[in-house]
Structure 1
C-alpha cells in the first residue's frame, strides 16, 4: 500500500508516461471502476413480489390469506388478490406460476350452474338468510341476457315440422291451450307456450340427487327446443317455475287433460271456482272474492238455485273455473284448497229463507290465477312445500 502511495505522489509530479506504472502497481484494485448497477424495472419488482408468494405456497402448501391476522401472510395474500384482479399482471407472471395460482375458474353462467358447483353446500342456507319468500313476487318477461343464454338448436330442421303441425292442430281445434298444470307434465314429447313462444321437450336427462338445505332434491336436465330455432338445457324444476310465474300454457288434446284419460278412468266429480253476482255493496265491492267448492254432478246443476242458498250468498253466481276430477274424491281436493287459503277465508253470516243464520265457509279473497296455480300444484304434489302469503297474494315456499 506504501509503494502505491509513493508511486501516486511521484507520478502526479512526474511525466504522464508514468501513468501505466501507477495502474500496474494497483494490486488492491483501488482504481477499478465499479460496475454500473442495473436499473430495477416495474416488471422486475412484480416478478420478485410474485416469487415471494410462490415461496410461501411452496413452504406452507397453501396460498396466503388476505384476511388472516398474521401481517406477513396477509400482505402476501393481498398482493396475490391484486395480481388476480389484473389481467395484464396475470399474463406477465404466467411463466412463473408453477402452482397454478393464477388460474381463474370460469364464472357460472346460470343459477343452476352456481348451485351445481356448490360442493360444500354453502348455499344451502339453513339459517334462512337467503329466504326471499317474504318479498313481493317480481315478474318480468325474457330479457336479452336470458334469451342470449339459449344456443342455436342443432338439427332444428327435424323439429320445425312438429311446431307447424301443432299450430295447425290448435287452429282446427284438435289441440287447445290450458294453464300449466305443474312439473309432472314436463315430459318428453310435450309442448308448452312460454311468453308467447312454443317449446318442445325433446329430451329428459337422467335423474341426479343433491342435498340442499338438509333435504334431498331431484334434478333432471332437459333439452328444450324453441320454435324460434334455439334450445336450452335448463332443469325441469327451473322450467316449471318459469311456466308458473309467467302464466305458461300447455298444449292438450281437446276434450282431455294433458295426461290422456283412458277408458278405465272414472270421472268422480268437479272442483269449481265461482264469482258472486250479488248486488249487495258489501259483497260486490270485494275484489277477488271466489267460492271454491266441489260437486258430484254438473256445476250448472249445482248452482241452479244459487240465489236461494246461503252457501252462494243468496245471489246468482258465475262459473270462472270447472275442473273435472278422475279417480279421486273431489271433496278431498276441495279440503286441501280450503286449507291452503284458510287465512283469507271470507268471514260473513247469511240468513236463509227461514230466517236462520248460516256461515258460508267456501268463499275466499284470493286471485283466480293463484287458485288455478294451487290446484295444479296439488295435482303435481308440489303444494306440500308452499303456503299462501296474503301480503304478496302468491304461493311462497315454506321456510
Structure 2
C-alpha cells in the first residue's frame, strides 16, 4: 500500500514515535554523479602519490586523470558542483583552454592511444574521423618487440641521463631531427629509432623512409618516418631527447665565464637521539643550496629537516652552471639504499620523517663527488654492505 500521507499525517505519526520512510529523491543528475566520481578518482591519486597527476606520466590512468583535471578546471558547472568537495583546492589553479573538455573517458583513452571495447549500444557520439583514426594508428599499430632485452638497457641509460641533466627533452620541430639512434617522447612513451631504411618517394614526390621504432613499453612499430613526424607534431607533449652532454658536472674552480649556481653541503647532526649519537660519524645530510651554507643551516634546531638539532658542516663543494636540483636528486638516488629511516617530532609534536640523511661514510661521499666530476656517476650505486660505490653490471 502506498504511503500517501500529507504533511499533517507525517507530523501526527512523528508525535506518536512512528518513523515514516521518505521516498528517496535523486539529488543529482547522472552527469553530475559522473563528474563527482571522476573528481574523487583524481583526489585518490593525489593522496596516494602526494602530487597532481601529470599529462606525461608513464601510467595511462595518471594521464587520464591529468586531462580530466584540466577539463574540470575549465567546466563552470564542475567548479560549482565540486566546491564543497575540493578540500585541497586543486581546481582553483588557472588552466589553459582544453579541446578535451567535451570528451568522456573512452574518448580520452582513445586520444591517448588505448583501444577501448566498443559499447554494445549504437553510439556514434565519439566516433573519430578517418584522418584522426589514421593518425592514431600510425603510433598505436604496434606489436611486441621480441628482442626488447637488447634495447631495455638503452632506455634505462637514457632515463639516468635525463635525471642527471646529461640529456634534455625539447619540443620536436623538424623532420630532419628523426635519425637512426635517436630518442623521442611520443604519446607519453620513449621511442627509439633502431633502424632507418633507404629513402623513398611518396606519391606527392616527398621523401620518406621506413623505420623500426622501439618503445619503452616493450613494443615496436615499422612506421614511416613521416608517420612518426605527424605523431610528434600532433602530440602537444611530443619531444625529442637530446644527445648526452659531455664534460664534468662541476669542478673545484670555475672556468672563465662560469658563475656559481649552488653548493653541495654535507652535515653531521649534534642531536642526542640514541640512533644519531651511536652513529654520529656515519650519519650525514647531503643537500644542495643556492644560498650560503651558513644561511641554509641557520635555525637548524627548529627545522625537522635538520632533525630539530644543531648541525656542523663537514664538507662543501661549489657547483658551476649545472641544474642543482637534478644533481641533488641523482645523489639521493645513488645513496637511496642507505637512507636513514628515522622519525622525529617537530616542534608541534607531529611525527616527521626527514629524507636527506644517509648512513654513509664521508670518504664515500667524496668518492661520489669525484665520479660526478668525471661524468661516470650514473654507472654507480652505493652498496651499504660493502660501504662503497659499485659499478653496475660489474661484480
State the TM-score bracket (shorter-chain normalisation).
Answer: 0.3 to 0.5
Q: Which has the larger radius of gyration?
A: 1
TM-score (norm 1): 0.34
TM-score (norm 2): 0.35
